[in-house]
C-alpha cells in the first residue's frame, strides 16, 4: 500500500465536458498532482470489470486489480454539482456499493497501477494470439505503441488522458482488420428471439408432407362409397 494511504481520506471531483470525472481537491496534496488527475466513476468501473472477465482464463490476478485502486463513496453533493468523496477500505471487487476508483499513481513507473496496466496488457496480447490466427503473433510493444500514440494525440490538442480511456483501450484492443470469432462474445438472443426461433421450427415440422400408409386408405374408400350411393335428385314435374 502506498505511503500516502493514511493521509488519503477524501477528495472532491467534478464532471468534465468529456463526461469523465476529474479531481479538483484532495486530502493529500503533497503526494498527488491534481493536474489532469482523473477518477473512474462506478459505471465506468463496472464496465472495466466486465471486460476483465475475458482475461480470467488467461491468468488474471485479481489481487493486482484490487491493489491498483483507492476506492471512494459519495459523501455529499456540493452546490456546484461537484461531489465530495470519502475513502472506504472494502475490497473494490467485493464491495456491494457503487464506488469511485482512483488509480494509485504515486509512483507512475513502478507503483500498483503501473503493475496492473502491465499485467492486463500482457494478458490481452496473450488472449488475442490465442483466439486469432495471425501470420505472426502480435506483441506487447505493438499495443503499447498504439496507446502512446493516442495519449500523445490528446496531449497535442491540450486534452488530458483519462484513466478509463487508457484501461479500456487496452482491454478492447484489436489490430485493424481483425475480429474475435468467439461464441461467448456474440450477442445473446432475447427471449422473444428464442421463442420466435422455436415457433419457426414447429412451423417447418408441420409444413412437411406427411407420407400416406395403409391405415389412411379408409378415408378415401369412405368418400368413394358416399359418392356411389348418393341418390340423384329428380327434376320437378312440369305438369
Please give the pLDDT value at position 239.
Answer: 46
Q: How many helices (H) and strands (E) does the chain have?
A: 7, 6
Distance, CA of 162 to CA of 181 (rounded, Å): 30
Backbone angles phi, psi at 212, to 5 degrees: -85, 155
CA atoms within 13 A on the CB side of 123: 22
- Match 412451423 to its residue by C-alpha cell: 203
- Under a CB-based contact definition with an 8 Å cutoff, are residues 69 and 41 in contact? no
pLDDT tens figures, 41-97: 999 999 999 999 999 999 999 999 999 999 999 999 998 899 999 999 878 888 777
- Under a CB-based contact definition with an 8 Å cutoff, are residues 17 and 45 in contact? no
Which of 197, 150, 195 is CA-nearest to residue 170?
150
Which of 156, 14, 173, 163 is CA-nearest to residue 78?
14
Which of 100, 85, 84, 102 is CA-nearest to residue 38?
102
201 — pLDDT class (breaks 50, 70, 90) = low
Local structure of 216: helix, strand or coil = helix
The domain limits of the chain are 10-182
- Under a CB-based contact definition with an 8 Å cutoff, are residues 137 and 129 in contact? yes
pLDDT tens figures, 97-155: 789 999 999 887 789 999 999 999 999 999 999 999 899 999 999 999 988 888 888 77
Amino acid at each position: 500500500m502506498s505511503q500516502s494511504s493514511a493521509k488519503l481520506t477524501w477528495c472532491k471531483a467534478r464532471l468534465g465536458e468529456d463526461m469523465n470525472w476529474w479531481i479538483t481537491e484532495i486530502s493529500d496534496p503533497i503526494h498527488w498532482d491534481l493536474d489532469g488527475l482523473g477518477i473512474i466513476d462506478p459505471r465506468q468501473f463496472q464496465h472495466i470489470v466486465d471486460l476483465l472477465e475475458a482475461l480470467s482464463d488467461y491468468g488474471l490476478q485479481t489481487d493486482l486489480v484490487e491493489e491498483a485502486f483507492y476506492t471512494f463513496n459519495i459523501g455529499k453533493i456540493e452546490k456546484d454539482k461537484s461531489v465530495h468523496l470519502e475513502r472506504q477500505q472494502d475490497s473494490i471487487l467485493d464491495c456491494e456499493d457503487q464506488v469511485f476508483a482512483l488509480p494509485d499513481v504515486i509512483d507512475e513507473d513502478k507503483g500498483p497501477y503501473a503493475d496492473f496496466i502491465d499485467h492486463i496488457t500482457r494478458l490481452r496480447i496473450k488472449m488475442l494470439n490465442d483466439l486469432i490466427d495471425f501470420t505472426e503473433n502480435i506483441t506487447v510493444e505493438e499495443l503499447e505503441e498504439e496507446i502512446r500514440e493516442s495519449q500523445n494525440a490528446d496531449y497535442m490538442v491540450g486534452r488530458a488522458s483519462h484513466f478509463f480511456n487508457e484501461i479500456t483501450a487496452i482491454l478492447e484492443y484489436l489490430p485493424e482488420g481483425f475480429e474475435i470469432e468467439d461464441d461467448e462474445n456474440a450477442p445473446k438472443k432475447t427471449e422473444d428471439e428464442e421463442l420466435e426461433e422455436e415457433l419457426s421450427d414447429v412451423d417447418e415440422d408441420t409444413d412437411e408432407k406427411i407420407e400416406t400408409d395403409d391405415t389412411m386408405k379408409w378415408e378415401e374408400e369412405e368418400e368413394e362409397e358416399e359418392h356411389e350411393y348418393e341418390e340423384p335428385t329428380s327434376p320437378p314435374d312440369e305438369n
